[in-house]
Structure 1
Amino acid sequence: MPSLRSRALSAALIAVGRRRRLGSAEAVRARVAQSARRPASHLPPRSLGRVAEISRTFVGAWPVYDVSPLGSEPASQVLYVHGGGYIGELVRPHWALIRTLVTRAGARVVVPAYVLAPRGTADRTVPVAADLLSGLIEGGGAGGTVLIGDSAGAGLALAAAQRLRDRTGAQPSRIVLMSPWLDVTMSHPDQAGLEAADPLLSRPGLREAGRLYAGTLAVEDPLVSPLRGSFGGLAPLTVFTGTRDVLSTDSRELLRRARAAGTEVEFHEEAGLPHGYPLLPVPEGRAARERIVELVRAAADL
C-alpha cells in the first residue's frame, strides 16, 4: 500500500493534468519546437555550490558537470544520466539527487547535459556516454564507479554499459536504474492496461519522443531500445519501479532477461507508485534514495 503522501501526490498530478502535457505526438513536437526557440537551462542550482565543488567542461558539444564533496576527497564516483524523455533537460529533482549523492555518499558525481533529441540521437549519444563511462572507470580515483540513470537516462545508461562491454569488456561497479525507459517501441501488451492508472505518462507521446531519439535507426535497435540488447557480462543491476508506471513492463522484462543471462539484479517494485518515484518527496522515494546512497558508499570499498 502506498503512503498517504504518495497517494495525495498521484491525485494532485492527475488533477493538474501533467500527463496530458506530453500525452500526444503533437504535444511532444510542440515541446521540442518551444525548446528550440527558448532552450531550458541545465545549470545547477546556486545552493549546490554551498555544499559541493562544481566545475564544467565540454565533451564535444556536451556540457559535463563535475560535482564533488566540498573540502574532502570523494570516496567513489558516479556517472549520473538524467531523464526527461530524451527531450528534457536536467531539472531540480535531478540536482537534488546529485546533492544527496555528494553530501550523503561522499561521491564525485559526473553529470552530462547531453544533447537532446532530435539533434541528439542514439547513434551519436550512446557512444559519447560510453566514452564518459570508460574514462571514469579507467581514470581510477578512490573507490569504484557507479552508473546511475532515471527514466530515459536509464535507457541511455544501459545502452552505454552494453556498448562498453562489447568494446572492451569493462563495466562499472554497479548500474542503478530508476523507472527505466528501455524500449521506445512501447509495444508491450500490458502497457495498454497500465496506462489508465499512470498519472504521468502516455504511450503516444512516448512513442514520438522515442522516434525522435532513434533518428535514422530503427526504434528496435539496441542502441535506442537497450532492452532488446544482450545482458550477459553486465555489472550487477539495481532497478526501481512502481506499479502505476506504464514503463514498469520494461523493468520486469529487464529482470527476466538479465537473470536468464546470469546477471545479478536487485529489484524493487513499489505498489501504487508512479514513474520516477525515487526522485519524489515521498517516503518511498526517500527509502529508494537511502538504498542508492548505500550502494554508492559500498563502491568506496572496491
Structure 2
Amino acid sequence: MSVETVSMAQQAEWLPDPAAPSWQSRCLVGLLRLLPIKKRLASGAAVQQQVRAMALRPMCYEPAGLGRGIEVERMESAAGWPVYETATAAARGNARHVVFLHGGGFFREIVRAHWRFVAYLNREAVVRCIVPIYPLTPGSTARDLVPATGELLRELMDRVGAENVTVVGNSAGAALGLAAAQWIRDAGHEQPRALVLISPGGDFSVSRPEQIAIAARDPLQDIPGVREAGRMYAGELDASHPYVCPLNASFERLPPMTIFSGTLDLFYPDCIDMAAKARAAGVPVDLHLRQGQPHNYAAMPTPEGREARAAILRVLAEDR
C-alpha cells in the first residue's frame, strides 16, 4: 500500500508565503546548523543509541518552566498514562480546553520547551491545557497509541463538550492528533472543535524524491533517523497503515484544521498534501507555509514564530 498523495493541480494553490525570512529567523537557522541536533537523526544507529540511553536514564516528564501563576493537577488516563491539567486562576470558569500532544519522534519525552508553550497557551488564550504523557517507542507503538489517544479525547469531550476541546500537536504529536481524530470519526464519535497541527509528519517513510533535497537544507531533521523512528512507531503495522501514516486515511468529516510548516522542514510536502486532502474533503483548512522556516518554527523566538502563535490564539478564540 503506497502513500496517497494529491495531484499537482490540487497542490498548486498551496504555495509558500513569498515574504523572505526575517533576519532573526536566518540567524536562528544558522545557529541551529552549528548545533549537533541534526546528528541525532543522521542514522538509525544514532536513534537507537538515544533509545538505549533513555532506557537507562529516563527523562523527567513532570512540568518544568511553566513560570508563576500556573496551577497544575496530575490525573491518570484510562490507559494508565500520567495526564497533567494546567491553568491560570483566570481560567477557572473557562470551559475551553486544549489537548497538547508533544513532539519528539515518538521516542523522546516532553521537554521544557513544550511546557513553556503550554504555559503560553494558558496565559494568552486563558484555556485549560490537558497534557497526556503518552508512552514512547519502542515500548509503545501506533497500534495502541492512536486508539488510546482517541479514547482520551472522547472521554474529555464527553465531560466538557466537544465544542470546548481543541487539539494542538507539534511534530510527532501533530501526526498523533490527526490520526486520533480519524480514529474518533471511524468509531462514530463527535469531533473536537479544531485541530492545530504544528509541523506534522504525515508519512514517516520519508519516501518522496524531493525530500532528499529538502533534507540537505533542513537544520534539524535527517531522513535515516526519521525513518528509524517511524519504523519503531509502526511496530507490527505496515509503515503505510493510517495510524502511522495519517495521509493514507480519509479526511472526510474532520474538524477545521490549521497547519504550520516551513520550506526548510523535511515534512512540508506532507503538509501540503494534508491541506489539499482536507480541502477536497470539504474540511476548512488554513495552511501557514513560510519561506525559509524550519521544523516547529511556530514555537521559535522569531517574528514568524510570533505570527504563528498569534494565529493559534485566534483559532482558540474563534467560535465554531
Partner of 1:291: 311
Instruction: Give the equivalent residue in structure 2 for 1:252.
Output: 272
| Matched residue type, 1:38 | R
Q: What's the offset of the Cα at 1:142?
A: 10
Alpha-carbon shift at residue 141 of structure 1 (Å): 5.8
User: How many aligned residue pairs are there?
Assistant: 299
Distance 1:123 1:3, change over 3 A: same
What is residue 140 of structure 1 aligned with on the other side? Answer: 160
Partner of 1:61: 80
Q: SS of 1:266's equivalent?
A: strand
Residues 47 and 165 (structure 1), Cα distance of their counterparts in 2 relative to 1, 3 Å cut:
closer
Deviation at 1:16, TM superposition (A): 1.8
Question: How far 1:277 moved relative to its partner?
Answer: 0.4
Q: Aligned to 2:225, which of 205, 217, 242?
A: 205
Between the aligned partners of 1:28 and 1:10, the Cα distance in structure 2 is: 23
- The residue correspondences of 1:135-174 to structure 2 (distance < 5 A) are 135-140=155-160, 144-174=164-194
> 1:74 aligns to what?
94
CA contact (8 A) 1:82 1:153 kept: yes
Q: Identify which range, 188-197 or 23-32, moves more after superposition.
A: 188-197
Structure 1 residues 142 and 213 mapped into 2: Cα distance closer, same or farther (>3 Å)? closer
Gaps of 5+ in 2: 1-19
Within 5 Å, which residues of 2 pair with 1:1-302? 1-45=20-64, 47-48=66-67, 50-59=68-77, 60-71=79-90, 72-140=92-160, 144-298=164-318, 301-302=319-320
Letter in 2 for 1:108: R
Write out per-residue CA displacement over residues 101-127 of structure 1, whole angstroms, 9 at most, x where no aligned residue: 111111011001100000110011111
Deviation (angstroms), 1:27: 0.3
Letter in structure 2 aligned against 1:191:
Q
Q: Using the alignment, how far apart are the partners of 2:163 and 2:69 within structure 1?
A: 21
Q: TM-score, normalised by structure 2?
A: 0.90
Q: Deviations over 1:164-204 (max 9, x none)?
A: 00102411111000000111111122111111110000000
Please say which of residues 140-149 and 51-60 is displaced more in the overlay: 140-149
Deviation of the 1:23 alpha carbon: 1.3
Is residue 23–residue 204 contact of structure 1 (8 Å, CA) maintained in 2? yes
**Is contact 1:61-1:115 (8 Å) kept?**
no
Matched letter for residue 10 of structure 1: V
**What is the DSSP-based 3-state SS (H/G/I as helix, E as strand, rest coil) of the residue aligned with 1:168?**
coil
For residues 279 and 222 of structure 2, what CA distance do their matches in structure 1 show? 29
Report the Cα distance in structure 1 between the residues aligned to 2:300 and 2:42, rounded to whole angstroms.
21
Q: Give TM-score, length-normalised by structure 1.
A: 0.95
Structure 1: runs of 5 or more not aligned:
none
Give 4+ residue runs of structure 1 displaced > 4 Å after superposition: none
Q: Is the 8 A contact 2:87 2:127 kept in 1?
A: yes
What is the CA RMSD across the aligned residues, in angstroms?
A: 1.4
How far the C-alpha of 1:17 sits from its partner, in A, is 2.7
CA distance in 2, matches of 1:141, 1:196: 45
